[in-house]
């Protein structure tokens, strides 16, 4: 946290404390005023108290307002800082994570925990402590014994109860999280498995199981509510029992009616800011869990190691050599079904087990792949899904660390280059291209911030996106997740980006995916026109048009099973011919 943030935080705390103190002062002054007035002194004796009462009454609201504003300002700044740090940690290529998009949005939600920590936990706690302290000091001036009793009561309500609530909340969330995950899983079964369930007459059973999961969760929530209610009741008891004890002591200690009234009402009001701390304690359990998850993300080792002193970026025409490359991945999910949930809940013991298991069960994705891309050469990689095609591209883009073998650019191992430099040389249309919530133009410009309109238009034309862009408009806002963009248009937008970026080596991962047959054919044809004479690595599952590339490599289970020109491959039996025939069969 920066110094200026610290200063702002102090102001927020002071404002909060001032508001609570004004509340306390209001009641103390009013109590004194009234009981003293009952003794019928001259009016002048009361004038200070009257002014004080009015001042406290108005200033309380103003201080509260100031506290809330400065507090939220600090919290938003702190959240922005957390996000920046999280982003810095995420910029380096990451190991694939379980949970994908859900996990990302959860991570982003977690950064709001910092806001909660400040606004809902820290500020109220400090303000309550200062108000409590002030009440105790007032008490000390009247009757020290009573002040000590008040202090004890405040500690019970402000420290012990919140601590207990936090501990209980931690315990309950450890049980609630799996119950929630179980319910989500049952609901997902009902939605995603709808066809299987209906066809096998098992939908009634699945519905019953989802209801059971709901009952189990409801039972836990009811018990959690009991704990919450007990904390609430405990706070009230502590408050009023303290007041009763204070009054008893004051009357026994001869504090007089004015002293007794001030003591009693001050005690009563001192609890007002303290009682909500039990709820803050419950919230704190969630906040600390979120902060722990964020720390784990920040501590995660990047997928690839950056060289300490990167070699200069190779220049001129590039020759890419992939030499006996072996890449293995941690399995997408390990055999323990609960592990994914464990990882999501961030339960530390689960996380460690998972880590352990992952190391044991690395899955070989690329198993000794070699290929050579000389300037201007076009190579296509085909094969069934899971054969390692996309991993090959990820290795070229330096997003995954090879286990053995190497990728060399003009003889330089890419491990010696800065990751960003590698991706400046080799990039293009990657898997799952993302459309940002921005205009069409900005979504394209991302790949060419300095591109002029002419270049922009050419890229759009080459990607056969022209008609769509003219219809949609260059400045049209694309929706969240690119929702207003169909699968085919998304793919073409991504292709336009790749062409705009114009890297020395163009990588294309399934450019025709999700396009209808006719468009896919036209796109493939245009693509092969545009990339003529350009060093290109094309990953595809469609074979039409591949007679135009220089070499086709067939990957299966991480190994090159066939390679050669299209004409050679269709003339011999094997995967390629099978696929060619089936494609011809389904085509009309």
Phi-psi region of 316 (alpha: psi -120 to 50; beta: other; left: phi over 0): left
Instruction: Give me the residue label for tokens 């600390």.
Output: 288
Q: Please report, as residue ranges, which positions from 31 to 50 form the binding site for another protein (by CB under 8 A).
A: 31, 33-35, 37-38, 40-41, 43, 46, 50
**Could you tell me the smallest distance in angstroms from the CB atom of residue 275 to another protein?**
11
- Binder to another protein among 3, 4, 222, 471 (CB under 8 A)? 222
Q: Please report, as residue ranges, which positions from 187 to 206 form the binding site for another protein (by CB under 8 A).
A: 187-206
Structure tokens at 380: 């296509």
Q: Are 382 and 540 in contact (CB under 8 A)?
A: yes
| 360 lies in the site for another protein, by CB under 8 A | no
**Could you tell me the smallest distance in angstroms from the CB atom of residue 556 to another protein?**
6
Query: What is the rounded CA–CA span in Å between residue 251 and residue 181?
Result: 57
Query: What is the rounded CA–CA span in Å between residue 428 and residue 580?
Result: 26
Q: Please report, as residue ranges, which positions from 400 to 419 form the binding site for another protein (by CB under 8 A).
A: none
- Binder to another protein among 241, 295, 374, 376 (CB under 8 A)? 241
Please give the DSSP secondary-structure letter assigned to residue 439. Answer: B
| 432 lies in the site for another protein, by CB under 8 A | yes
Q: Please report, as residue ranges, which positions from 77 to 96 form the binding site for another protein (by CB under 8 A).
A: 77, 79-80, 83-84, 86-88, 90-91, 93
Using DSSP's 3-state secondary structure scheme, residue 560 falls into: strand
Of the candidates 174, 276, 189, which has an alpha carbon nearest to the alpha carbon of residue 232?
Answer: 276
**Could you tell me the smallest distance in angstroms from the CB atom of residue 119 to another protein?**
11
Q: Please report, as residue ranges, which positions from 330 to 349 form the binding site for another protein (by CB under 8 A).
A: 331-335, 337, 339-340
Q: Please report, as residue ranges, which positions from 276 to 305 form the binding site for another protein (by CB under 8 A).
A: none
Tell me how far CA of residue 417 lies from CA of 315, 411, 421, 425, in angstroms: 13, 12, 7, 11
What does the CA dihedral 89, 94, 95, 99 come to, rounded to 10 degrees?
Answer: 80
521 exposure class (CB count in 10 Å sphere: 0-12, 13-18, 19+) = middle
b/e 563-580 (16+ beta carbons within 10 angstroms → b) = beebeebbeeeebbeebb
Query: What is the rounded CA–CA span in Å between residue 248 and residue 27?
Result: 20
**What DSSP letter does each residue of 460-498 carry, written as one string?**
HHHTT-HHHHHHH-TTPBP-GGGTTS-HHHHHHHHHHHH
The span of 74-82, 314-322, 452-460, 528-536 binding another protein (CB under 8 A) equals: 74-82
CB neighbours of 167 closer than 8 A, spacing ≥ 6? Answer: 285
What does the CA dihedral 476, 480, 482, 486 come to, rounded to 10 degrees?
Answer: -100
Between 128 and 515, whose beta carbon lies closer to another protein?
A: 515
**Could you tell me the smallest distance in angstroms from the CB atom of residue 207 to another protein?**
5
**Could you tell me the smallest distance in angstroms from the CB atom of residue 196 to another protein?**
5
- Binder to another protein among 125, 128, 168, 261 (CB under 8 A)? 261
The span of 163-171, 308-316, 433-441, 543-551 binding another protein (CB under 8 A) equals: 433-441
Q: Please report, as residue ranges, which positions from 451 to 490 form the binding site for another protein (by CB under 8 A).
A: 480-481
- Binder to another protein among 7, 10, 48, 108 (CB under 8 A)? 108
**Could you tell me the smallest distance in angstroms from the CB atom of residue 271 to another protein?**
12
Between 311 and 550, whose beta carbon lies closer to another protein?
A: 311
**Could you tell me the smallest distance in angstroms from the CB atom of residue 47 to another protein?**
11
| 447 lies in the site for another protein, by CB under 8 A | yes
| 183 lies in the site for another protein, by CB under 8 A | yes
| 588 lies in the site for another protein, by CB under 8 A | yes
Between 125 and 507, whose beta carbon lies closer to another protein?
A: 507
Q: Please report, as residue ranges, which positions from 140 to 179 form the binding site for another protein (by CB under 8 A).
A: none
Cα angle, residue 500 at apex, residues 499 and 506 outer, rounded to 5°: 40
Q: Are 565 and 551 in contact (CB under 8 A)?
A: yes
Between 291 and 550, whose beta carbon lies closer to another protein?
A: 291
b/e 97-106 (16+ beta carbons within 10 angstroms → b) = ebeeeebeee
| 247 lies in the site for another protein, by CB under 8 A | yes
| 233 lies in the site for another protein, by CB under 8 A | yes
The span of 102-110, 310-318, 370-378, 525-533 binding another protein (CB under 8 A) equals: 102-110
Between 88 and 296, whose beta carbon lies closer to another protein?
A: 88
**Could you tell me the smallest distance in angstroms from the CB atom of residue 268 to another protein?**
8
The span of 118-126, 217-225, 460-468, 531-539 binding another protein (CB under 8 A) equals: 217-225
Quick count: other Cβ atoms within 10 Å of Cβ 61? 12
Cα angle, residue 177 at apex, residues 172 and 181 outer, rounded to 5°: 155
| 64 lies in the site for another protein, by CB under 8 A | yes
**Could you tell me the smallest distance in angstroms from the CB atom of residue 583 to another protein?**
9
Of the candidates 264, 104, 102, which has an alpha carbon nearest to the alpha carbon of residue 188?
Answer: 102
Tell me how far CA of residue 88 lies from CA of 94, 255, 291, 310, 401, in angstroms: 12, 62, 16, 20, 20
Using DSSP's 3-state secondary structure scheme, residue 536 falls into: strand
Q: Are 37 and 102 in contact (CB under 8 A)?
A: no
Query: What is the rounded CA–CA span in Å between residue 136 and residue 266?
Result: 9
- Binder to another protein among 121, 135, 264, 270 (CB under 8 A)? 264
- Binder to another protein among 175, 228, 313, 329 (CB under 8 A)? 228
**Could you tell me the smallest distance in angstroms from the CB atom of residue 265 to another protein?**
8
- Binder to another protein among 7, 48, 62, 152 (CB under 8 A)? 62
- Binder to another protein among 5, 232, 406, 525 (CB under 8 A)? 232
Q: How many residues bind another protein (CB under 8 A)?
A: 151
Q: How far is CA 443 from the centre of its chain?
A: 22
- Binder to another protein among 24, 157, 274, 399 (CB under 8 A)? 399
- Binder to another protein among 2, 349, 359, 586 (CB under 8 A)? 586
């Amino acid at each position: 946290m920066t110094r200026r943030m610290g200063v702002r935080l102090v102001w927020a705390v002071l404002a909060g404390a001032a508001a609570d103190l004004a509340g306390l002062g209001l009641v103390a002054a009013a109590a004194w005023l009234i009981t003293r007035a009952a003794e019928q002194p001259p009016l002048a004796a009361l004038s200070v108290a009257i002014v004080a009462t009015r001042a406290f009454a108005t200033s309380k609201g103003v201080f509260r307002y100031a506290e809330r504003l400065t507090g939220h300002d600090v919290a938003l700044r702190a959240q922005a800082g957390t996000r920046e740090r999280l982003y810095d940690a995420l910029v380096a290529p990451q190991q694939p994570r379980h949970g994908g998009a859900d996990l990302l949005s959860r991570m982003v939600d977690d950064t709001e925990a910092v806001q909660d920590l400040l606004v809902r936990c820290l500020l109220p706690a400090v303000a309550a402590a200062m108000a409590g302290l002030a009440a105790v000091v007032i008490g000390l001036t009247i009757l020290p014994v009573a002040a000590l009793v008040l202090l004890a009561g405040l500690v019970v309500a402000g420290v012990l109860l919140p601590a207990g609530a936090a501990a209980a909340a931690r315990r309950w969330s450890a049980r609630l999280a799996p119950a929630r995950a179980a319910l989500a899983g049952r609901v997902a079964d009902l939605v995603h498995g709808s066809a299987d369930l209906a066809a096998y007459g098992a939908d009634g059973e699945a519905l019953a199981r989802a209801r059971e999961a709901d009952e189990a969760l409801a039972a836990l929530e009811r018990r959690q509510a009991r704990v919450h209610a007990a904390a609430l009741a405990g706070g009230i008891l502590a408050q009023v029992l303290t007041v009763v004890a204070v009054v008893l002591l004051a009357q026994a200690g001869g504090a007089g009616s004015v002293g007794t009234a001030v003591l009693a009402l001050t005690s009563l009001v001192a609890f007002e800011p303290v009682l909500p701390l039990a709820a803050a304690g419950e919230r704190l359990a969630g906040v600390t869990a979120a902060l722990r998850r964020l720390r784990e993300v920040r501590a995660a080792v990047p997928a690839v190691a950056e060289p300490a002193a990167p070699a200069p970026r190779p220049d001129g025409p590039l020759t890419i050599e992939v030499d006996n490359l072996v890449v293995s991945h941690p399995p997408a999910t390990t055999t323990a079904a609960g592990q994914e949930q464990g990882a999501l809940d961030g339960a530390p013991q689960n996380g460690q087990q998972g880590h352990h298991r992952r190391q044991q069960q690395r899955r070989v994705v690329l198993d000794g792949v070699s290929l050579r891309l000389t300037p201007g050469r076009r190579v296509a990689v085909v094969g069934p899904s899971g054969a390692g095609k996309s991993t090959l591209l990820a290795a070229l883009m330096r997003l995954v660390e090879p286990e053995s073998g190497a990728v060399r650019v003009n003889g330089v191992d890419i491990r010696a280059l800065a990751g960003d430099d590698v991706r400046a040389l080799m990039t293009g249309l990657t898997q799952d291209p993302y459309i940002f919530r921005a205009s069409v133009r900005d979504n394209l410009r991302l790949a060419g911030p300095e591109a002029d309109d002419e270049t922009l238009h050419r890229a759009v034309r080459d990607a056969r996106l022209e008609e769509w862009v003219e219809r949609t408009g260059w400045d049209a806002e694309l929706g969240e997740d690119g929702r207003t963009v169909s699968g085919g248009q998304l793919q073409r937008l991504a292709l336009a980006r790749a062409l705009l970026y114009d890297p020395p080596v163009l990588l294309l991962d399934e450019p025709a995916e999700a396009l209808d047959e006719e468009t896919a054919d036209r796109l493939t044809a245009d693509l092969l026109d545009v990339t003529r004479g350009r060093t290109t690595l094309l990953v595809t599952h469609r074979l039409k048009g591949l007679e135009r590339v220089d070499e086709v490599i067939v990957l299966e289970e991480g190994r090159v099973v066939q390679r050669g020109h299209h004409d050679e491959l269709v003339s011999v039996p094997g995967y390629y011919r099978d696929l060619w025939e089936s494609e011809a069969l389904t085509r009309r």
